[in-house]
Amino acid sequence: MQGEEHTVLATDLPQTSGERKQPVIAVQGVSKTYPLGRRSTVEAVRGISLSVAEGEFVMITGRSGSGKTTLLNLMAGLTHPTSGRILVDGEDLWGLSDRQRSAYRNQRVGFIFQFPSLIASLTAIENVLLPTMFAPRNRRLDGGPARQRAEELLGVVGLSDKLAARPRQLSAGQQKRAVIARALMNEPSLLLADEPTADLDEQTEQEIVAFLCQVQQTRNLTIVMVTHAGELLRVATRAMEMSEGTLRERIDS
């Protein structure tokens, strides 16, 4: 991923090619407009199309306000697109019922937020266990096995001694790692990470990125990660850049 970068519009690219695997998620001509005051609006995402195949590590860079977070929210089904479609297994995400969309977020997607997102009243392990609570009954991991998995995940992210710690007792880096453990709890196939290394020191940033790479390779996880940090592009299998609501693919020479 190093060397001279060229940019082309993502919409100009073929979304599936012969070499590419089945897309985990496909964004088709999606736009998102937010009201800005009473009369004006702002178009955060403009007609973006993007197809992400299984096992890809897609890194999206861009300046603040370029629409990166909105794109991730759209892919997670957290906000309704103004136009266009988001296809998961060939099905329109917004053609699903609220329950089905919730199940998609719970079972298929892991989300790492930019902001501190641990629930303050719960301990680290309870936060990691939280997604199991929303799982459909037939797929829910209950009691001992769930706790064992949560402990394992917290151990993997280096928090095995912080199981009972409340979020306020954890550093920013530890909180972020707990969030990653939570995102992986239900074994998602797609991990959406919104600036997972923001506000962290360089060493913690390296640790987290290395961990995500490891997870992506060992579990064949698909990752779409949004970041400010251009230097992280080296770990991505595909790099893209967002600018004023549009997405361009960065192609190495």
Q: Which is nearer to other proteins, 192 or 209 (CB)?
A: 192
Strand partners, 249: 8, 240
Q: What is the identity of the amino acid at 53?
A: A
Q: Residues 1, 13, 96, 130: which binds other proteins (CB under 8 A)?
A: 130
31 near other proteins, rule: CB under 8 A: no
> What's the angle, vertex CA 242, arms to CA 94 and CA 11, rounded to 5?
65
Pairing label, strands 109-112, 57-62: unpaired
The reply to whether 189 sits near other proteins by the rule CB under 8 A is: no
Among 73, 216, 222, 227, binds other proteins (CB under 8 A): 73
Q: Which two tokens mark 130?
A: 């939280």
Check binding of 182 to other proteins (CB under 8 A): yes
Identify which range of 123-131, 167-175, 228-236, 244-252 contacts other proteins by CB under 8 A: 123-131
Give me 251's structure tokens: 């192609």
Instruction: Kindly give the residue spans of alpha helices, DSSP state H, lying in the chain.
Output: 68-75, 98-107, 124-133, 143-156, 172-184, 202-219
Tokens of 184: 């992986």
Binding to other proteins by CB under 8 A, coded x per residue (else -) over 84-103, reads --------------xx--xx
Q: Residues 134 to 153: which contact other proteins by CB under 8 A?
A: 134-135
Count of residues binding other proteins (CB under 8 A)?
Answer: 31
Q: What gap in Å lies between CA 3 and CA 70, rounded to an integer?
A: 29
Nearest distance in Å: CB 2, other proteins: 34
120 lies in the site for other proteins, by CB under 8 A: yes
Angstrom distance (rounded) from CA 166 to CA 157: 16
Under the criterion CB under 8 A, does residue 129 sit at the interface with other proteins? yes
**Cα 130 to Cα 201: distance, rounded to the nearest angstrom:** 28
Q: Of these, 6, 21, 63, 80, which contacts other proteins (CB under 8 A)?
A: 80
Nearer to other proteins, 126 or 207 (CB): 126
Distance from C-alpha of 86 to C-alpha of 81, rounded to nearest angstrom: 8
Closer to other proteins by CB, 108 or 250: give it. Answer: 108
133 binds other proteins (CB under 8 A): yes
164 φ/ψ angles, rounded to the nearest 5 degrees: -95, 5
Interface residues for other proteins in 195-224 (CB under 8 A)?
none
d(CA 100, CA 217): 28
Sites of contact with other proteins (CB under 8 A) = 70, 73, 76, 78-80, 98-99, 102-103, 105-107, 111, 113, 115, 117, 119-122, 126, 129-135, 182, 186
